[in-house]
């Protein structure tokens, strides 16, 4: 692939590169995987499940509640795997493009770390549940074809950033949730640590590419903002997987999913998850909806 018509992206990444080196660990040997993990503990924090705060949660039996935390943990890790895989492939294509020569050192760290994250999440899912949830269907058709080259590049890196920030909200909370089995907590903790570097990098990339878009054609910014708002909503909705409800023995999964997505308590929870990202985008001049302003 050739990225044309964008100026070289120049960022000061010395500190992040140093941290990537000094924080490096071998994920294949760093964890002590127990044979099995306790079924009487939540695998995902109860307050982070998709029914938390609603009467739909209260109506479940305790066994269903615990099962839901297990299958939503598997769904969360599966989403990570598929999300990373898709975004990583975009980054791999760009690593030695001329425009990205100044950031390719960090991109090497990024790619290596994301590959390891995929392994880590898949290992958890396969060991303890014997499966991943399949990726959601996607349309390959490029809905960005009408944008200029820098705007398209901005969208690619913005999607990486948004995805990472949303995931990080969950990781940061679960990293210290003592109700979780130790291995689940550990995975969330190390991922949170690595992602803090990725998020810092992603925000710098976003700002750099946005400047190029603004110089070239500021009229594209509202179009990008609209797409990113949709992407925020889309990302939240992927957490609500009817297959996880079915696996947890909860009937009428699609109807439940629809009701949960619209529930006021859930809307407030979504605002919490997206707050930091919305604030960043709005302050950058990309106005996304902000009930969480």
Contact call for residue 89 and other proteins (CB under 8 A): no
Contact call for residue 139 and other proteins (CB under 8 A): yes
The item of Fe ion, other proteins, none sharing an interface with residue 268, based on CB under 5 to 8 Å by kind, is: none
Contact call for residue 192 and other proteins (CB under 8 A): no
3-state secondary structure (DSSP) of residue 19: helix
Contact call for residue 72 and Fe ion (CB under 5 A): no
Q: What is the dihedral of CA 276, 279, 284, 290, to 10 degrees?
A: 130
100/107 Cα distance (integer angstroms): 9
Contact call for residue 82 and Fe ion (CB under 5 A): no
Q: How many residues does the chain have?
A: 293
Q: Which is nearer to Fe ion, 43 or 201 (CB)?
A: 201
The item of Fe ion, other proteins, none sharing an interface with residue 231, based on CB under 5 to 8 Å by kind, is: other proteins
Site for other proteins in 215-274 (CB under 8 A): 230-231, 233-234, 237-238, 242, 254-255, 257-258
Largest pairwise CA distance in the chain: 58
Residue from 19, 60, 122, 135 binding other proteins (CB under 8 A) = 135
Contact call for residue 198 and Fe ion (CB under 5 A): yes
3-state helix, strand, coil in the chain (%, to 5): 70, 0, 30
Nearest to 202 by CA among 87, 99, 122: 87
117/202 Cα distance (integer angstroms): 17
Contact call for residue 143 and other proteins (CB under 8 A): yes
178/148 Cα distance (integer angstroms): 48
Summarize as ranges the residues that interact with other proteins (CB under 8 A): 134-141, 143, 230-231, 233-234, 237-238, 242, 254-255, 257-258
Summarize as ranges the residues that interact with Fe ion (CB under 5 A): 117, 164, 195, 198
């Amino acid at each position: 692939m050739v990225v044309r018509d964008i100026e070289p992206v120049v960022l000061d990444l010395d500190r992040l590169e140093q941290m990537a080196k000094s924080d490096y660990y071998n994920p294949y040997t760093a964890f002590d995987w127990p044979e099995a993990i306790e079924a009487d503990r939540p695998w995902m924090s109860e307050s982070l499940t998709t029914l938390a705060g609603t009467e739909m949660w209260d109506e479940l039996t305790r066994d269903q509640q615990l099962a839901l935390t297990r299958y939503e943990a598997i769904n969360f890790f599966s989403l990570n795997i598929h999300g990373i895989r898709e975004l990583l492939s975009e980054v791999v294509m760009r690593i030695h493009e001329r425009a990205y020569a100044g950031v390719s050192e960090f991109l090497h760290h990024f790619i290596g770390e994301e590959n390891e994250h995929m392994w880590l999440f898949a290992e958890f899912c396969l060991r303890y549940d014997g499966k991943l949830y399949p990726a959601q269907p996607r349309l390959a058709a490029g809905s960005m074809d009408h944008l200029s080259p820098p705007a398209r590049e901005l969208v690619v890196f913005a999607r990486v950033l948004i995805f990472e920030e949303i995931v990080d909200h969950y990781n940061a909370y679960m990293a210290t949730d003592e109700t979780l089995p130790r291995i689940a907590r550990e995975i969330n903790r190390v991922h949170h640590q690595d992602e803090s570097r990725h998020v810092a990098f992603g925000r710098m990339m976003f700002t750099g590419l946005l400047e190029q878009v603004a110089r070239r054609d500021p009229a594209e910014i509202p179009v990008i903002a609209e797409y990113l708002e949709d992407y925020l909503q889309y990302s939240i909705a992927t957490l609500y997987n009817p297959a996880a409800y079915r696996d947890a023995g909860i009937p009428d999964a699609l109807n439940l999913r629809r009701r949960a997505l619209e529930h006021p308590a859930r809307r407030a929870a979504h605002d919490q998850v997206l707050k930091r990202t919305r604030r960043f985008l709005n302050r950058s001049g990309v106005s996304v909806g902000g009930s969480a302003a």
